[in-house]
Amino acid sequence: MSLDAFTSRSYAQGMVIELTSEDQNRLAELAQATQRSEAEVAREAMHWFLAPQEPHSAIIARARRDVLEGRTIDHDELFTEIDRMLAE
């Protein structure tokens, strides 16, 4: 099995996003300044935007599971415990 089978969908598929005219101009200017295509600049921008989001989404998903499974602590209990720890 080739590596492509694990890492991509059809190369013919894509995504269309709507940019404001201001962002479209910024993208075009950056692409021209770096001698890259607008698509390449947009892909890189999405990569750098999504990378730090992934750990946050995992934390949020875990927190939602905790709530659904009853692993929570009452607000007053939490601050009582914090106050106790700070007093030590």
* pTM assigned to the model: 0.54
Domain count, the chain: 1
More confident: 7 or 25:
25
pLDDT at res. 12: 53
Give residue-wise pLDDT tens across range 53-88. Answer: 888 888 999 999 999 999 998 999 999 999 999 998
Q: Say how many CA atoms lie within 13 Å of 57 toward its Cβ.
A: 5
Give residue-wise pLDDT tens across range 39-61. Answer: 999 999 999 999 988 888 889 99
* Phi-psi category of residue 60: left, alpha or beta, with phi > 0 → left and psi -120 to 50 → alpha: alpha
What range does the domain containing 16 cover? 3-87
Triad 57, 58, 59: Cα angle to 5°: 90
Query: What's the mean pLDDT when you consider all of the chain?
Result: 85
